[in-house]
Structure 1
Amino acid sequence: MEDRIERGKQWLENLLTLMGMPTTATSEGFATITEDRESCWLNIGIDHLTSEQIQLLIGERGKNIDAIQYLANTLLNLLQSSESQGSYTIELDGYRVTRYQELLEIADTAAAQVRDTGQEIEVPDLSSAERKQIHSFLQNSTDLVTESRGQEPDRKLVVKLR
């Protein structure tokens, strides 16, 4: 596992250097962000980055940091044995932790609204990973069901009574 962490840190630091934003990557080892999956967290150091660079790396609604994370998960697992493969979460300036809390609130609000009105709720503007997280948050609900509807980039999460 340490090899996977070091491989991830080196890859991320090289990517950031190529992007003209040389900084360090650290790892807090393995941290659980969802109940069913562990992920190696790679944290981009902010000490050598300006606030503009941080915003650029995160991107509008997290699109850039999601793209970096997608690349990490694809490229770092390419040609690796199954036991050397794993999931990577890229964190920058607390974005993932903050967004996780926001997604919990979105799920709770949607669930309460569906229960109160009996009407289904569409939650727009979520990435596929974010839709998956909300599906996961509500999967054990006995009275609600979730589904994704539509085509990218306009795909929406739907919460409705079971």
Structure 2
Amino acid sequence: MEDAGHNAGIEWLTNLLALQGLAATVTAELVEDEAGHSCWLTISEEGLTPEQVQTLIGEGGSVLDSLQYLANTTLNLGKGHDEQQAFTLELAGYRAKRLGELKAMAMTAAEQVLASGQEYELKGLSSAERRQLHHFLKAQDGLSTYSRGKEPDRRLVVCLVSEVPNEA
């Protein structure tokens, strides 16, 4: 199943890029992290101009996030929950770098909440990034996370387990 998912992901993303007039190579790798297994689809920078790379990433990763959302939705369409696979799109090391930044944000939030007892809000995150932070922080004893607000102003809140509001 993983090979079929990898191949489907490579084919889907290669075709999508071709529709945009971009002849880029896509590779796939199964990665396991705190959030579980994910098929990382990496777009090679070879043959792309710096402007094309930046356009595909978008401001704050917005285009890459949108393409990743489309990949996950399209490639899992009609599959049962147990058959679905998570796909992560990578280009120019953006995801790996951002993952490091998110882990640092999670550590800072955890340390501040544990030291002060006060909740800590993280703003300006995509839904995928909020989900990653939920996964990073769920292993922290004594802490809980929940989301507050509505898009586009949805925020991740880190708090002590004893301080989780009833509606969260």
Regarding TM over 0.5, the answer is yes
Structure 2 match to 1:40: 39
What is the CA distance between 1:11 and its match in structure 2?
1.0
The 1:155/1:5 distance shift into structure 2, 3 A limit, reads same
Q: State whether residues 57 and 65 of structure 1, in contact with CA within 8 Å, keep that contact through their aligned partners in structure 2.
A: yes
Q: 1:81 to 1:151 in 2, by over 3 A?
A: closer
Match of 1:109 in 2: 108
Structural RMSD (CA):
1.6
Q: Is the contact between residue 119 and residue 159 of structure 2 (CA under 8 Å) also seen in structure 1?
A: yes
- Conserved 8 A contact 1:114-1:121: yes
Q: Does residue 31 in structure 1 map to residue 31 in structure 2?
A: yes
* Contact in 1 for aligned 2:144/2:160 (Cα 8 Å): yes
Q: What are the equivalent positions in structure 2 for 1:56-71 lying under 5 Å apart?
A: 56-71=55-70
2:149 is aligned with 1:150: yes
Q: Report if the CA contact (8 A) 1:147-1:157 is conserved.
A: yes
Q: Is the alpha carbon distance of 1:81 and 1:121 closer, same or farther for their aligned partners in structure 2, counting shifts above 3 Å?
A: closer
Aligned to 2:14: 13
Q: Provide the TM-score with structure 1 as the length reference.
A: 0.91
Do 2:35 and 2:132's aligned partners in 1 also have CA atoms closer than 8 Å? no
Q: Structure 2 CA distance, aligned partners of 1:21 and 1:48?
A: 8
* Alignment-derived partner of residue 95 in structure 2: 96
For the residue of structure 2 that corresponds to 1:72, the secondary structure is helix
Alpha-carbon contact 2:110-2:143 (below 8 Å) kept: yes
Give 5+ residue unaligned stretches, structure 2: 162-168
Aligned residues of 1:4 and 1:84 also touching (Cα < 8 A): no
Measure, in 1, the Cα distance between the counterparts of 2:78 and 2:146. Answer: 33
CA distance in 2, matches of 1:144, 1:23: 43
Show structure 1 runs of 4+ deviating over 4 A.
80-84
